[in-house]
Structure 1
């Protein structure tokens, strides 16, 4: 009898609240509607593209001679900064997929504002094992969704750059011997 005693009370409570779908169309939107992302671009032609050190910034640039770079590597105190030079949506986040040299890696890459434009940029400790994808002598495919796929032609330059950047990491101090 106790089980059925609360049943009328539950029915009364349910009758007080309209179903979730009632008058749904007239409810105000809680969040702003998202605008669509920019249209994806085609992959650039990389025939004749090569790696070269920038004379002014200390970055390793990849692209066709005489044209804007497609990708760059920079070193900041043992941190490798990788940049894909293509327009990005403000504050967007993505994954840079790297395939080559016997590796498949995915690195975080975010849209960052750079001189009034948004570019894809990511950072990773230069001694991170995931960067081995760049240290081999073979071709690497670098893809950011919507920003095309860049074929990084075979070169030892990125591997040498990553190795040199990792050397900038300060090793932890050696433990001091106990004088006792």
Structure 2
């Protein structure tokens, strides 16, 4: 019992040896500044935007006719197997990555895009093998939405152009429809003989 009473008396004395905690400094969040503020872009009006084939024929751009593109699909046929790059033309900072969800044609794809410097422009880019199933989000004729965190949402009207382009890239740049038509015609001619 004496030990219990002694322990109870010693505990308050042991607490006296502790230093006082440092005072808490409070600041208003409005006064906090960051070294590099993140610019949040608004979703652009894409009601009159359309897909256009690049002069090289190996890329398609989506945007207004007389302005820089908003998104580009770039087929890189010199790589084996062919690669397809998805480029979101929005300001990017070096060393950053983001998820770029694209929804449409009954699919939801999430592309990991990295900030890349190309032609003097920091932009968001993901490169995948052309046969990657995630790219099927572009292959149907329905509307597509593509959202980049901080870069706004693109509403892309339904079009056959991206689907035909992805199919062309997957075929290594060959026009498969013409070949299929020629083979079907040759088969018909052989059957008629």
User: TM-score normalized by structure 2?
Assistant: 0.67
Give the deviation of 1:41 after TM superposition: 0.6
Runs of 4+ in 1 over 6 A off after TM superposition: none
Alignment of 1:65-76 (within 5 A): 65-76=65-76
Contact 1:38 1:89 in 2 (8 A): no
Gaps of 5+ in 1: 1-20, 23-33, 170-180
| Cα distance in 2, alignment partners of residues 57 and 118 from structure 1 | 23
Residue in 1 that maps onto 2:94: 90
| Cα distance in 2, alignment partners of residues 102 and 37 from structure 1 | 36
| Cα distance in 2, alignment partners of residues 74 and 133 from structure 1 | 15
| Cα distance in 2, alignment partners of residues 79 and 145 from structure 1 | 25
| Cα distance in 1, alignment partners of residues 93 and 61 from structure 2 | 23
2:115 to 111, 128, 142: 111
Contact 1:37 1:89 in 2 (8 A): no
Contact 1:103 1:133 in 2 (8 A): yes
Give the deviation of 1:66 after TM superposition: 1.1
- What secondary structure, in the 3-state scheme, does the structure 2 residue paired with 1:87 have? coil
Give the deviation of 1:54 after TM superposition: 1.1
Task: Report Cα offsets for 1:45-69 as digits up to 9, x if no partner.
Answer: 1011110101146310100111111
Residue in 1 that maps onto 2:62: 62
What is the alpha-carbon root mean square deviation over aligned residues? 2.6
Q: Which has the higher contact order (CA 8 A, sep 6+)?
A: 1
Kindly indicate whether residue 162 of structure 2 is the aligned counterpart of residue 158 of structure 1.
Answer: yes
Give the deviation of 1:36 after TM superposition: 4.6
Task: Report Cα offsets for 1:14-65 as digits up to 9, x if no partner.
Answer: xxxxxxx99xxxxxxxxxxx84552211011101111010114631010011
- What secondary structure, in the 3-state scheme, does the structure 2 residue paired with 1:137 have? coil
Contact 1:43 1:147 in 2 (8 A): yes
User: TM-score normalized by structure 1?
Assistant: 0.72
Question: More helix by proportion, 1 or 2?
Answer: 2
| Cα distance in 2, alignment partners of residues 101 and 139 from structure 1 | 7
Task: Report Cα offsets for 1:107-165 as digits up to 9, x if no partner.
Answer: 11000012333101111111111111110000100111111111111101111111111
The 1:37/1:136 distance shift into structure 2, 3 A limit, reads: farther
Gaps of 5+ in 2: 1-20, 23-33, 174-193
| Cα distance in 1, alignment partners of residues 148 and 41 from structure 2 | 10
Contact 1:95 1:108 in 2 (8 A): yes
Larger radius of gyration: 2
The number of equivalent residue pairs is: 144
